[in-house]
Amino acid sequence: MARMTNSEHPAPARRASFLGTLVLIAAGTLAGLLLIVLLIRAFPSLEPGGQRFLFTDLDGDTFRHQPGQVRPPAENRVLEDGVRYDDADGFRRPARTADHYPIAVIGDSFTDGGQTPWTDLLAEALDLPVRNLGWSGFGPLEYQAIAEQYLADDHTWVLVAYFEGNDLSNIQTSRQRFGDGPVTLNLTKTFGAPVSSVRELSDYNDITIDPQERYLYPLIHHRPDGSTFEVAYISDYLWWLNGEASTYADSRNVRELRAALDAIRAAANGACVGLVYVPNKEHIYMPLADPAGNRQYVLQNARELMLGADGWLTHGDVAPVDWDTLAARLDNQRDVVAQVAQDAGYAFIDLVPAFQAAAPQTLTYYPYDSHWNYEGHSLTAHTVSEYLKNTPCTKRPSQAGS
Protein backbone atom coordinates (compact mmCIF):
# COMPACT_ATOMS: atom_id res chain seq x y z
CA MET A 1 0.00 0.00 0.00
CA ALA A 2 1.26 3.43 -0.91
CA ARG A 3 1.92 5.79 1.97
CA MET A 4 -0.04 9.08 2.06
CA THR A 5 1.97 12.25 2.50
CA ASN A 6 0.96 15.63 3.91
CA SER A 7 1.28 17.11 0.44
CA GLU A 8 -1.42 14.78 -0.80
CA HIS A 9 -3.93 15.76 1.96
CA PRO A 10 -2.88 19.21 3.31
CA ALA A 11 -6.34 20.63 4.18
CA PRO A 12 -6.74 19.43 7.79
CA ALA A 13 -3.34 20.64 8.87
CA ARG A 14 -3.73 24.03 7.14
CA ARG A 15 -7.24 24.44 8.52
CA ALA A 16 -6.03 23.78 12.04
CA SER A 17 -3.20 26.24 11.60
CA PHE A 18 -5.58 28.89 10.22
CA LEU A 19 -8.07 28.41 13.07
CA GLY A 20 -5.27 28.67 15.60
CA THR A 21 -4.14 31.92 14.06
CA LEU A 22 -7.71 33.29 14.21
CA VAL A 23 -7.96 32.33 17.87
CA LEU A 24 -4.69 34.11 18.64
CA ILE A 25 -5.81 37.22 16.73
CA ALA A 26 -9.17 37.28 18.50
CA ALA A 27 -7.56 36.77 21.90
CA GLY A 28 -5.04 39.52 21.21
CA THR A 29 -7.77 41.88 20.02
CA LEU A 30 -9.91 41.23 23.11
CA ALA A 31 -6.91 41.68 25.37
CA GLY A 32 -6.11 44.96 23.63
CA LEU A 33 -9.67 46.21 23.92
CA LEU A 34 -9.77 45.22 27.59
CA LEU A 35 -6.51 47.06 28.20
CA ILE A 36 -7.89 50.17 26.47
CA VAL A 37 -11.08 50.05 28.59
CA LEU A 38 -9.04 49.64 31.78
CA LEU A 39 -6.73 52.51 30.83
CA ILE A 40 -9.67 54.79 30.03
CA ARG A 41 -11.30 53.93 33.35
CA ALA A 42 -8.06 54.63 35.20
CA PHE A 43 -7.22 57.70 33.09
CA PRO A 44 -10.49 59.13 31.65
CA SER A 45 -8.66 61.90 29.80
CA LEU A 46 -7.27 59.28 27.40
CA GLU A 47 -10.72 58.72 25.86
CA PRO A 48 -11.04 60.53 22.52
CA GLY A 49 -13.84 62.98 21.78
CA GLY A 50 -13.85 64.91 25.03
CA GLN A 51 -13.28 68.60 25.70
CA ARG A 52 -10.60 69.54 28.18
CA PHE A 53 -11.34 72.38 30.56
CA LEU A 54 -8.99 74.22 32.89
CA PHE A 55 -10.67 76.54 35.39
CA THR A 56 -8.74 78.92 37.62
CA ASP A 57 -9.44 81.75 40.05
CA LEU A 58 -9.15 84.39 37.32
CA ASP A 59 -11.77 82.59 35.24
CA GLY A 60 -14.36 83.42 37.90
CA ASP A 61 -17.54 85.18 36.81
CA THR A 62 -17.41 87.86 39.52
CA PHE A 63 -14.78 89.78 37.52
CA ARG A 64 -16.94 89.99 34.42
CA HIS A 65 -20.30 90.76 36.02
CA GLN A 66 -18.94 93.86 37.74
CA PRO A 67 -15.84 95.18 35.95
CA GLY A 68 -13.32 96.98 38.09
CA GLN A 69 -15.00 96.09 41.39
CA VAL A 70 -13.18 92.83 42.18
CA ARG A 71 -9.52 92.78 43.20
CA PRO A 72 -7.75 89.86 41.52
CA PRO A 73 -5.93 87.39 43.77
CA ALA A 74 -2.14 87.37 43.87
CA GLU A 75 -2.02 83.75 42.68
CA ASN A 76 -4.10 82.22 39.91
CA ARG A 77 -4.78 78.78 41.35
CA VAL A 78 -6.04 75.81 39.32
CA LEU A 79 -9.53 74.91 40.59
CA GLU A 80 -10.62 72.34 38.00
CA ASP A 81 -8.70 70.41 35.36
CA GLY A 82 -10.61 67.70 33.54
CA VAL A 83 -12.15 66.40 30.34
CA ARG A 84 -15.84 66.65 29.64
CA TYR A 85 -17.87 64.23 27.53
CA ASP A 86 -21.42 64.75 26.26
CA ASP A 87 -24.12 62.22 25.39
CA ALA A 88 -25.90 61.83 22.06
CA ASP A 89 -28.37 64.61 22.96
CA GLY A 90 -25.63 67.06 23.90
CA PHE A 91 -26.07 66.87 27.69
CA ARG A 92 -23.18 66.05 29.98
CA ARG A 93 -22.54 62.34 29.96
CA PRO A 94 -22.89 60.77 33.41
CA ALA A 95 -19.95 58.97 34.93
CA ARG A 96 -22.27 55.98 35.33
CA THR A 97 -24.06 55.40 32.03
CA ALA A 98 -27.03 53.07 31.68
CA ASP A 99 -29.94 52.16 29.44
CA HIS A 100 -32.30 53.16 32.25
CA TYR A 101 -31.94 56.10 34.64
CA PRO A 102 -34.08 55.91 37.78
CA ILE A 103 -33.26 59.57 38.47
CA ALA A 104 -33.14 62.49 36.03
CA VAL A 105 -31.97 65.96 37.09
CA ILE A 106 -32.83 69.16 35.20
CA GLY A 107 -31.00 72.40 35.98
CA ASP A 108 -28.55 75.07 34.92
CA SER A 109 -24.77 75.41 35.34
CA PHE A 110 -24.96 74.18 38.95
CA THR A 111 -26.00 70.81 37.48
CA ASP A 112 -24.16 70.98 34.16
CA GLY A 113 -20.83 72.20 35.53
CA GLY A 114 -18.09 71.22 37.91
CA GLN A 115 -15.20 68.82 37.45
CA THR A 116 -17.27 66.20 39.28
CA PRO A 117 -20.92 67.31 39.16
CA TRP A 118 -23.20 66.56 42.08
CA THR A 119 -25.32 64.31 39.89
CA ASP A 120 -22.39 61.88 39.55
CA LEU A 121 -21.76 62.01 43.29
CA LEU A 122 -25.49 61.38 43.86
CA ALA A 123 -25.32 58.31 41.62
CA GLU A 124 -22.39 57.06 43.67
CA ALA A 125 -24.15 57.71 46.99
CA LEU A 126 -27.35 55.93 45.91
CA ASP A 127 -25.65 53.29 43.72
CA LEU A 128 -28.08 54.24 40.94
CA PRO A 129 -27.54 55.81 37.50
CA VAL A 130 -28.52 59.49 37.37
CA ARG A 131 -29.06 61.32 34.08
CA ASN A 132 -27.72 64.87 33.94
CA LEU A 133 -30.08 67.13 31.97
CA GLY A 134 -28.44 70.35 33.10
CA TRP A 135 -27.54 73.14 30.69
CA SER A 136 -25.62 76.27 31.61
CA GLY A 137 -27.60 79.50 31.26
CA PHE A 138 -31.04 77.90 31.22
CA GLY A 139 -33.96 78.78 33.49
CA PRO A 140 -37.35 77.30 34.43
CA LEU A 141 -38.96 77.76 30.99
CA GLU A 142 -36.05 75.89 29.42
CA TYR A 143 -36.32 73.26 32.15
CA GLN A 144 -39.90 72.72 31.01
CA ALA A 145 -38.82 72.31 27.39
CA ILE A 146 -36.13 69.81 28.42
CA ALA A 147 -38.66 67.82 30.42
CA GLU A 148 -41.12 67.70 27.55
CA GLN A 149 -38.50 66.63 25.02
CA TYR A 150 -36.01 64.46 26.91
CA LEU A 151 -37.58 62.78 29.94
CA ALA A 152 -38.04 59.03 29.57
CA ASP A 153 -41.12 57.18 30.77
CA ASP A 154 -39.26 55.04 33.31
CA HIS A 155 -37.76 57.54 35.76
CA THR A 156 -38.62 57.08 39.43
CA TRP A 157 -37.56 60.61 40.38
CA VAL A 158 -37.34 63.79 38.32
CA LEU A 159 -35.46 66.54 40.16
CA VAL A 160 -35.46 70.22 39.19
CA ALA A 161 -32.51 72.22 40.54
CA TYR A 162 -33.76 75.78 41.07
CA PHE A 163 -31.09 78.50 41.45
CA GLU A 164 -32.25 81.47 43.48
CA GLY A 165 -29.62 83.76 41.95
CA ASN A 166 -31.21 84.15 38.53
CA ASP A 167 -33.94 81.59 37.79
CA LEU A 168 -36.72 84.14 38.32
CA SER A 169 -34.98 86.69 36.11
CA ASN A 170 -34.33 84.00 33.48
CA ILE A 171 -38.08 83.44 33.24
CA GLN A 172 -38.57 87.08 32.34
CA THR A 173 -35.79 87.21 29.74
CA SER A 174 -37.03 83.99 28.14
CA ARG A 175 -40.55 85.39 27.86
CA GLN A 176 -39.17 88.55 26.33
CA ARG A 177 -37.31 86.46 23.80
CA PHE A 178 -39.98 83.88 22.93
CA GLY A 179 -43.19 85.70 23.82
CA ASP A 180 -46.05 83.63 25.18
CA GLY A 181 -45.26 80.68 22.90
CA PRO A 182 -43.10 77.64 23.58
CA VAL A 183 -39.41 78.01 24.30
CA THR A 184 -37.05 76.76 21.62
CA LEU A 185 -33.97 74.95 22.88
CA ASN A 186 -30.56 75.44 21.34
CA LEU A 187 -28.39 72.56 22.49
CA THR A 188 -25.39 73.46 20.40
CA LYS A 189 -22.15 73.90 22.29
CA THR A 190 -19.37 76.07 20.99
CA PHE A 191 -15.95 75.34 22.42
CA GLY A 192 -12.92 77.55 22.07
CA ALA A 193 -9.40 76.23 21.93
CA PRO A 194 -8.66 74.37 25.18
CA VAL A 195 -6.48 76.21 27.67
CA SER A 196 -3.60 73.94 28.60
CA SER A 197 -1.62 76.16 30.97
CA VAL A 198 -2.30 78.53 33.85
CA ARG A 199 -2.48 82.10 32.59
CA GLU A 200 -1.23 85.24 34.25
CA LEU A 201 -3.41 88.29 34.93
CA SER A 202 -1.86 90.07 31.94
CA ASP A 203 -3.20 87.30 29.69
CA TYR A 204 -6.82 88.24 30.50
CA ASN A 205 -8.17 91.10 28.41
CA ASP A 206 -11.63 90.87 30.03
CA ILE A 207 -10.63 91.64 33.63
CA THR A 208 -10.79 95.33 34.50
CA ILE A 209 -8.11 96.63 36.87
CA ASP A 210 -8.66 99.70 39.04
CA PRO A 211 -5.30 101.50 39.14
CA GLN A 212 -6.34 103.22 42.37
CA GLU A 213 -7.15 99.89 44.08
CA ARG A 214 -10.68 101.01 45.04
CA TYR A 215 -12.19 97.56 44.89
CA LEU A 216 -15.51 96.66 46.51
CA TYR A 217 -14.76 92.94 46.62
CA PRO A 218 -13.64 90.56 48.02
CA LEU A 219 -15.07 90.93 51.51
CA ILE A 220 -13.37 89.64 54.62
CA HIS A 221 -15.23 86.95 56.58
CA HIS A 222 -14.62 85.62 60.09
CA ARG A 223 -14.63 82.02 61.26
CA PRO A 224 -15.46 81.03 64.86
CA ASP A 225 -11.78 80.25 65.53
CA GLY A 226 -10.78 83.81 64.64
CA SER A 227 -9.33 83.03 61.21
CA THR A 228 -10.55 84.90 58.16
CA PHE A 229 -11.22 84.18 54.49
CA GLU A 230 -12.10 86.31 51.46
CA VAL A 231 -15.06 85.98 49.12
CA ALA A 232 -16.17 88.07 46.15
CA TYR A 233 -19.86 88.39 45.31
CA ILE A 234 -22.11 89.36 42.43
CA SER A 235 -24.15 92.24 43.82
CA ASP A 236 -27.16 91.59 41.58
CA TYR A 237 -27.53 88.12 43.08
CA LEU A 238 -27.74 89.74 46.50
CA TRP A 239 -30.42 92.18 45.38
CA TRP A 240 -32.55 89.32 44.04
CA LEU A 241 -32.87 88.40 47.71
CA ASN A 242 -33.75 91.96 48.78
CA GLY A 243 -37.52 91.73 48.49
CA GLU A 244 -40.57 91.21 50.64
CA ALA A 245 -42.30 87.83 50.47
CA SER A 246 -45.42 89.41 48.99
CA THR A 247 -43.36 90.97 46.20
CA TYR A 248 -42.23 87.54 45.00
CA ALA A 249 -45.62 85.90 45.52
CA ASP A 250 -47.51 88.54 43.52
CA SER A 251 -45.12 88.60 40.58
CA ARG A 252 -45.57 87.23 37.10
CA ASN A 253 -42.18 85.55 37.52
CA VAL A 254 -43.56 83.29 40.23
CA ARG A 255 -46.79 82.61 38.30
CA GLU A 256 -44.73 81.53 35.32
CA LEU A 257 -42.59 79.37 37.61
CA ARG A 258 -45.69 77.58 38.89
CA ALA A 259 -46.89 76.95 35.33
CA ALA A 260 -43.48 75.55 34.36
CA LEU A 261 -43.42 73.25 37.37
CA ASP A 262 -46.91 71.98 36.51
CA ALA A 263 -45.79 71.24 32.95
CA ILE A 264 -42.66 69.43 34.13
CA ARG A 265 -44.74 67.31 36.49
CA ALA A 266 -47.04 66.39 33.61
CA ALA A 267 -44.04 65.45 31.46
CA ALA A 268 -42.56 63.30 34.22
CA ASN A 269 -44.79 60.35 33.27
CA GLY A 270 -45.93 59.66 36.80
CA ALA A 271 -42.47 59.89 38.38
CA CYS A 272 -42.08 61.57 41.73
CA VAL A 273 -40.89 65.15 41.28
CA GLY A 274 -38.72 67.21 43.55
CA LEU A 275 -37.40 70.76 43.55
CA VAL A 276 -33.83 71.10 44.80
CA TYR A 277 -33.46 74.65 46.11
CA VAL A 278 -29.97 75.97 45.27
CA PRO A 279 -28.97 79.03 47.33
CA ASN A 280 -26.55 81.59 45.97
CA LYS A 281 -23.23 82.32 47.63
CA GLU A 282 -24.49 85.68 48.88
CA HIS A 283 -27.30 84.03 50.84
CA ILE A 284 -24.91 81.68 52.61
CA TYR A 285 -21.78 83.72 53.28
CA MET A 286 -22.78 87.39 53.44
CA PRO A 287 -23.96 86.98 57.08
CA LEU A 288 -20.36 86.09 57.97
CA ALA A 289 -18.85 89.16 56.28
CA ASP A 290 -17.07 91.68 58.49
CA PRO A 291 -19.62 94.45 59.33
CA ALA A 292 -16.82 97.00 59.60
CA GLY A 293 -15.32 96.08 56.25
CA ASN A 294 -16.59 96.65 52.74
CA ARG A 295 -19.95 95.06 53.49
CA GLN A 296 -21.16 98.45 54.65
CA TYR A 297 -20.40 99.91 51.20
CA VAL A 298 -22.19 97.05 49.48
CA LEU A 299 -25.28 97.85 51.57
CA GLN A 300 -25.04 101.54 50.71
CA ASN A 301 -25.50 100.60 47.04
CA ALA A 302 -28.46 98.28 47.55
CA ARG A 303 -31.41 97.96 45.17
CA GLU A 304 -34.73 96.73 46.49
CA LEU A 305 -36.72 94.13 44.54
CA MET A 306 -40.07 95.56 43.47
CA LEU A 307 -43.06 94.82 41.25
CA GLY A 308 -43.11 96.64 37.95
CA ALA A 309 -46.30 97.97 36.38
CA ASP A 310 -46.32 94.93 34.08
CA GLY A 311 -46.17 92.49 36.98
CA TRP A 312 -42.55 91.48 36.43
CA LEU A 313 -39.98 91.77 39.19
CA THR A 314 -37.64 94.72 38.83
CA HIS A 315 -35.12 96.61 40.92
CA GLY A 316 -35.64 100.09 42.24
CA ASP A 317 -33.08 102.85 42.26
CA VAL A 318 -30.00 102.59 44.43
CA ALA A 319 -31.10 102.98 48.05
CA PRO A 320 -29.12 102.00 51.17
CA VAL A 321 -30.40 99.07 53.22
CA ASP A 322 -29.37 98.24 56.76
CA TRP A 323 -28.07 94.76 57.45
CA ASP A 324 -30.91 93.72 59.77
CA THR A 325 -33.50 94.53 57.10
CA LEU A 326 -31.62 92.61 54.42
CA ALA A 327 -30.92 89.68 56.72
CA ALA A 328 -34.64 89.39 57.48
CA ARG A 329 -35.36 89.17 53.73
CA LEU A 330 -32.76 86.56 52.74
CA ASP A 331 -35.16 83.63 53.07
CA ASN A 332 -38.21 85.28 51.47
CA GLN A 333 -37.63 83.97 47.95
CA ARG A 334 -36.90 80.52 49.36
CA ASP A 335 -40.11 80.48 51.39
CA VAL A 336 -42.28 81.58 48.45
CA VAL A 337 -40.71 79.07 46.06
CA ALA A 338 -41.09 76.31 48.65
CA GLN A 339 -44.81 77.01 48.86
CA VAL A 340 -45.16 77.12 45.07
CA ALA A 341 -43.31 73.82 44.71
CA GLN A 342 -45.37 72.11 47.37
CA ASP A 343 -48.62 73.41 45.87
CA ALA A 344 -47.48 71.93 42.54
CA GLY A 345 -46.99 68.50 44.14
CA TYR A 346 -43.21 68.62 44.42
CA ALA A 347 -41.03 67.39 47.22
CA PHE A 348 -39.00 70.39 48.40
CA ILE A 349 -35.33 69.56 48.99
CA ASP A 350 -33.89 72.63 50.69
CA LEU A 351 -30.10 73.00 50.53
CA VAL A 352 -30.04 76.21 52.56
CA PRO A 353 -29.77 74.63 56.06
CA ALA A 354 -26.95 72.27 55.07
CA PHE A 355 -24.95 75.02 53.40
CA GLN A 356 -25.51 77.43 56.29
CA ALA A 357 -24.32 74.80 58.75
CA ALA A 358 -21.16 74.21 56.73
CA ALA A 359 -20.41 77.88 56.04
CA PRO A 360 -18.48 78.85 59.20
CA GLN A 361 -15.89 76.15 58.58
CA THR A 362 -16.04 75.26 54.89
CA LEU A 363 -16.08 77.27 51.68
CA THR A 364 -18.51 75.47 49.38
CA TYR A 365 -18.29 77.98 46.50
CA TYR A 366 -15.28 79.31 44.66
CA PRO A 367 -14.00 82.61 46.12
CA TYR A 368 -14.16 84.47 42.78
CA ASP A 369 -16.95 82.57 41.06
CA SER A 370 -20.62 82.07 41.86
CA HIS A 371 -20.56 78.27 41.47
CA TRP A 372 -19.84 75.37 43.81
CA ASN A 373 -16.43 73.87 44.35
CA TYR A 374 -16.09 70.13 45.00
CA GLU A 375 -17.24 70.56 48.60
CA GLY A 376 -20.43 72.24 47.39
CA HIS A 377 -21.20 69.50 44.89
CA SER A 378 -20.43 66.87 47.52
CA LEU A 379 -22.64 68.52 50.13
CA THR A 380 -25.49 68.77 47.62
CA ALA A 381 -25.18 65.10 46.65
CA HIS A 382 -25.17 64.07 50.32
CA THR A 383 -28.18 66.23 51.20
CA VAL A 384 -30.23 65.06 48.21
CA SER A 385 -29.27 61.40 48.66
CA GLU A 386 -30.28 61.44 52.32
CA TYR A 387 -33.63 62.95 51.37
CA LEU A 388 -34.29 60.36 48.68
CA LYS A 389 -33.23 57.48 50.92
CA ASN A 390 -35.75 58.62 53.53
CA THR A 391 -38.54 59.46 51.09
CA PRO A 392 -39.86 56.37 49.29
CA CYS A 393 -41.38 57.11 45.90
CA THR A 394 -44.30 55.44 44.19
CA LYS A 395 -45.12 56.47 40.65
CA ARG A 396 -48.64 57.82 40.25
CA PRO A 397 -50.89 54.86 39.37
CA SER A 398 -52.81 56.83 36.73
CA GLN A 399 -49.65 57.35 34.67
CA ALA A 400 -47.24 54.66 35.76
CA GLY A 401 -46.01 52.68 32.79
CA SER A 402 -47.43 55.12 30.27
Contacts of 57 (CB under 8 A, 6+ apart): 72, 73, 75, 76, 77, 79, 366, 367, 368
pLDDT in tens, 259-286: 999 999 999 999 999 999 999 999 999 9
Average pLDDT over the chain, rounded to whole? 90
Going by pLDDT thresholds of 50, 70 and 90, the confidence category of residue 20 is low
For the chain, give every domain's residue range. 50-185+193-389
Asked if 389 and 126 touch (Cβ cutoff 8 Å), the reply is: yes
Instruction: Record the pTM.
Output: 0.88
C-beta separation of 118 from 276 below 8 A: no
The DSSP element (H or E) to which 133 belongs, if any, is: strand 130-134
pLDDT at position 252:
98
**Rounded-to-integer distance, Cα 241 and Cα 283, Å:** 8
The pLDDT of residue 6: 45
Tell me if 319 sits within 8 A of 302, measured CB to CB: yes
pLDDT tens-place string over residues 343-385: 999 999 999 999 999 999 999 999 999 999 999 999 999 999 9
Structure confidence at residue 188 as a pLDDT band (50, 70, 90): confident
CATH class for the region spanning 50-185+193-389: alpha beta
pLDDT in tens, 325-346: 999 999 999 999 999 999 999 9
Lowest-confidence range among 9-18, 118-127, 181-190, 226-235? 9-18
Spatial distance between the Cα atoms of 235 and 242, rounded to a whole number of angstroms:
11
Determine the average pLDDT of the residues in 92-116. Answer: 97
